[in-house]
């Protein structure tokens, strides 16, 4: 009997064990499921973490580690931390993007959030307080000014109407080179002088200096002033990192910006005053009714808000046209010439095409340009390997957002490394080689619209460069004219000629010096 009771007890304990184990298992599964569900929900709704990136020092962050060539340093950091990485400059968070899909996220999917610029003290001073187009905050003022710029000043009709002005300047340059055959010339200076005269004649119907003897000197001076204005806008300034130091202006950036602004402002004032005193119907430049300054002076109110436009705002737009329109195009002409001159077979192909389309002994005209397909590929390849604005212009999100799975908080400085993307071996075959042929196959795929995010030399999204039509025309016109009229020999080796100097505009470390000889025959 006792044995039977013990056996029953053992059996019921055993049964209880199994039930208990089953219950424990069921509860565990339930808890795990709830936990997993919560994790999934949390992941979906959480804002993600900040991107990875190098650690800096307390207080100053990564500032002491920034080198001179930010575009290459950022490309190296992207190798280490991935296509989206962050670093701090003091309290300021900076994020660098280096892949087409990330560019798409911020310039298309979340374009409005990232349409603000991250202005610095220098840009604020040099744009009369952010009244230009490039650095003004995203909003109705920017929209209005950009509309005027694109639809009135740089419209196809207006550009066609001032073709004669561009042509005159290019012819003057070719004649100047013709007188210097056999002597080394600085191509960058030449391109800058031409471009500045083109832009100024379109702006106010004049060049830098009416007297031809002092024109070169005046242009050189102009280049120094506006080159410095461009450089200063990209210069690292401790007062931007620690706004509390602004009043001490330790590096003298603000002081220099004010001095440069005064010089530029003096030029603008002189031209505007003269124009205000001129009767309207006297302003007929190059067959056009109005030059840019006249369009700006006649513009009285902002369309969207009905607010009056001030003289400072007009001058800020003039500043943008000069700063945005000269250095970029001149520097790219120099880079394009550098690559072509160092690759004999490329020069030969350009020459052959020019002979076929233009004809030896004849001048290049703008109507030839659409037929110069190989030259167009040379221009595109120059813009790929040497994007004039390698980090584009910095953006600043108006609210915290998720990009590439990471959080980019409001007010972060966001940089796009177009230089790195356009040399990425995952995206480009033989990326360091200057190979115009890569653009011949599907020319439409490689336009400048910013819709192909692996090729963004003019940027992308609503803040894409509005000067593309003028920049593209001038770049092709200058290269075609210089190469059609002359054969060139560089004075240095390619290795000496190819090194870069970082700035908002990516210049050459040393100027390209080349010796022109007259071209007469197809076979040289
Ligand atoms: C081939 C020459 C040029 C190149 C490579 C170039 C490149 C660029 C780039 C990369 C940007 C920044 C776009 C972004 O952040 O997404 C930009 C902006 C700008 N560019 Fe150009 N540019 C050139 C010529 C010009 C010309 C000729 C003008 C005017 C006459 C001009 C005026 C501007 C302005 C006003 C902006 C600011 C746009 C905004 O923020 O809304 N650029 N350019």
Given ligand 1 and candidates 111, 149, 162, 324, which is best to mutate, with the most ligand atoms within 8 Å of its CB? 324
Q: Is the ipTM of this complex over 0.85?
A: yes
* Atom 6 of ligand 1, nearest CA residue: 458
Whole-number pLDDT of residue 38? 55
Residue 29 CA to ligand 1 centre (angstroms): 59
Given ligand 1 and candidates 100, 106, 465, which is best to mutate, with the most ligand atoms within 8 Å of its CB? 465
* Atom 1 of ligand 1, nearest CA residue: 471
CA-to-CA dists, residue 8 to 4, 19, 72, angstroms: 6, 16, 81
Nearest atom in ligand 1 to the alpha carbon of residue 395 is: 15
Q: Enumerate residues 6+ apart whose C-beta is below 8 A from 205.
A: 283, 285, 286, 291
Q: Enumerate residues 6+ apart whose C-beta is below 8 A from 452.
A: 100, 445, 446
Residue 409 CA to ligand 1 centre (angstroms): 26
Residue 332 CA to ligand 1 centre (angstroms): 13
Taking alpha carbons only, the member of 142, 124, 83, 379 closest to residue 258 is 124
Residue 453 CA to ligand 1 centre (angstroms): 17
Residue 315 to residue 134: CA distance in whole angstroms: 13
Nearest atom in ligand 1 to the alpha carbon of residue 149 is: 35
Given ligand 1 and candidates 201, 417, 458, which is best to mutate, with the most ligand atoms within 8 Å of its CB? 458
Given ligand 1 and candidates 467, 473, 477, which is best to mutate, with the most ligand atoms within 8 Å of its CB? 467
Residue 463 CA to ligand 1 centre (angstroms): 9
Distance of CA 226 to the CA centre of its chain: 17
Nearest atom in ligand 1 to the alpha carbon of residue 387 is: 5
CA-to-CA dists, residue 517 to 92, 170, 349, 418, angstroms: 53, 18, 18, 36
* Atom 41 of ligand 1, nearest CA residue: 463
* Atom 9 of ligand 1, nearest CA residue: 458
Nearest atom in ligand 1 to the alpha carbon of residue 136 is: 40
Distance of CA 327 to the CA centre of its chain: 12
Nearest atom in ligand 1 to the alpha carbon of residue 117 is: 40
Residue 14 to residue 20: CA distance in whole angstroms: 10
| Percentage helix, strand, coil for the chain under 3-state DSSP, each rounded to 5 | 55, 10, 35
Residue 178 to residue 409: CA distance in whole angstroms: 56
94 has binding-site annotation: no
* Atom 7 of ligand 1, nearest CA residue: 458
Q: Is 117 helix (H, G, I), strand (E, B) or coil?
A: strand
CA-to-CA dists, residue 349 to 346, 367, 377, 523, angstroms: 5, 20, 11, 12
Mean pLDDT by runs of 10 across the 524 residues of the chain is: 47 52 65 57 60 96 95 98 97 96 98 96 95 94 91 88 90 94 95 91 69 56 85 90 94 96 91 76 53 83 74 92 93 97 96 95 94 97 98 97 97 97 97 96 89 98 96 96 95 90 94 90 44
Q: Is 396 helix (H, G, I), strand (E, B) or coil?
A: strand
Residue 324 CA to ligand 1 centre (angstroms): 6
Residue 158 CA to ligand 1 centre (angstroms): 18
Nearest atom in ligand 1 to the alpha carbon of residue 461 is: 16
Taking alpha carbons only, the member of 199, 200, 161 closest to residue 289 is 161
Residue 301 to residue 310: CA distance in whole angstroms: 9
- Find out whether 112 and 241 touch, Cβ atoms under 8 Å: no
Residue 465 CA to ligand 1 centre (angstroms): 3
Would you state the structure tokens that stand for residue 241, as one six-digit string?
């990192």
Taking alpha carbons only, the member of 266, 256, 250 closest to residue 231 is 256
Residue 343 phi/psi, 5-degree rounding, is -130, 95
Nearest atom in ligand 1 to the alpha carbon of residue 393 is: 15
Would you state the structure tokens that stand for residue 161, as one six-digit string?
């109407």
Taking alpha carbons only, the member of 351, 413, 424, 361 closest to residue 387 is 424
- Find out whether 191 and 172 touch, Cβ atoms under 8 Å: no
Whole-number pLDDT of residue 206? 66
Residue 160 to residue 151: CA distance in whole angstroms: 13
Distance of CA 70 to the CA centre of its chain: 14
Whole-number pLDDT of residue 294? 84
Residue 379 phi/psi, 5-degree rounding, is -65, -45
Ligand 1 site residues, Cβ closer than 6 angstroms: 133-134, 146, 320-321, 324-325, 328-329, 332, 388-389, 392-393, 457-460, 463-467, 470-471, 475
Residue 389 to residue 467: CA distance in whole angstroms: 13
Residue 37 CA to ligand 1 centre (angstroms): 48
Residue 350 to residue 335: CA distance in whole angstroms: 16
Residue 95 CA to ligand 1 centre (angstroms): 21
């Amino acid at each position: 009997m006792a044995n039977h009771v013990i056996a029953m007890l053992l059996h019921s304990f055993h049964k209880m064990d199994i039930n208990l184990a089953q219950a424990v298992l069921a509860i565990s599964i339930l808890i795990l499921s709830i936990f997993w569900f919560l994790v999934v929900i949390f992941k979906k709704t959480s804002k993600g973490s900040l991107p990875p990136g190098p650690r800096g020092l307390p207080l100053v962050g990564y500032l002491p580690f920034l080198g001179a060539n930010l575009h290459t340093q950022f490309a190296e950091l992207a190798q280490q931390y991935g296509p989206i990485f962050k670093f701090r400059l003091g309290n300021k968070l900076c994020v660098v993007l280096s892949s087409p899909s990330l560019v798409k996220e911020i310039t298309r999917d979340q374009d409005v959030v990232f349409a603000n610029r991250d202005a610095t003290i220098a840009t604020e001073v040099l744009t009369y307080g952010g009244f230009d187009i490039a650095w003004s905050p995203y909003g109705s003022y920017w929209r209005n000014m950009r509309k005027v710029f694109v639809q009135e000043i740089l419209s196809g009709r207006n550009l066609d109407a001032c073709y004669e002005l561009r042509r005159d300047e290019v012819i003057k340059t070719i004649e100047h080179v013709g007188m210097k055959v056999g002597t080394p010339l600085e191509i960058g200076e030449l391109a800058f002088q031409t471009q500045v005269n083109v832009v100024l004649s379109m702006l106010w119907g004049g060049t830098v200096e009416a007297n031809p003897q002092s024109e070169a000197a005046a242009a050189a001076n102009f280049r120094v002033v506006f080159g410095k204005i461009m450089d200063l806008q990209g210069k690292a300034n401790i007062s931007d990192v620690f706004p509390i130091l602004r009043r001490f202006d330790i590096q003298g950036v603000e002081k220099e910006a004010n001095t440069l602004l005064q010089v530029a402002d003096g030029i603008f004032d002189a031209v505007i005053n003269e124009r205000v005193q001129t009767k309207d119907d006297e302003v007929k430049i190059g067959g056009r009714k109005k030059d840019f300054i006249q369009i700006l002076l006649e513009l009285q109110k902002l369309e969207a808000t009905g607010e009056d436009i001030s003289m400072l705002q007009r001058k800020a737009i003039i500043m943008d046209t000069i700063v945005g329109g000269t250095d970029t195009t001149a520097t790219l002409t120099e880079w394009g010439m550098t690559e072509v001159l160092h690759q004999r077979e490329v020069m030969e192909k350009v020459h052959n095409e020019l002979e076929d389309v233009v004809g030896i002994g004849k001048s290049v005209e703008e109507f030839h340009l659409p037929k110069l397909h190989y030259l167009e590929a040379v221009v595109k390849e120059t813009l790929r390997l040497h994007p004039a604005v390698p980090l584009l212009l910095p953006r600043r999100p108006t609210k915290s957002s998720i990009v590439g799975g990471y959080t980019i908080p409001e007010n972060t400085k966001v940089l796009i490394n177009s230089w790195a993307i356009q040399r990425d071996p995952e995206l480009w075959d033989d990326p360091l080689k200057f190979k115009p042929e890569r653009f011949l196959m599907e020319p439409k795929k490689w336009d400048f619209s910013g819709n192909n995010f692996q090729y963004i030399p003019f940027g992308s999204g609503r803040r894409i460069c509005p000067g593309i039509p003028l920049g593209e025309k001038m770049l092709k016109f200058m290269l075609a004219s210089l190469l059609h009229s002359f054969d060139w020999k560089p004075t240095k080796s390619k290795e000496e000629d190819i090194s870069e100097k970082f700035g908002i505009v990516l210049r050459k470390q040393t100027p390209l010096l080349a010796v022109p000889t007259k071209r007469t025959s197809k076979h040289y």
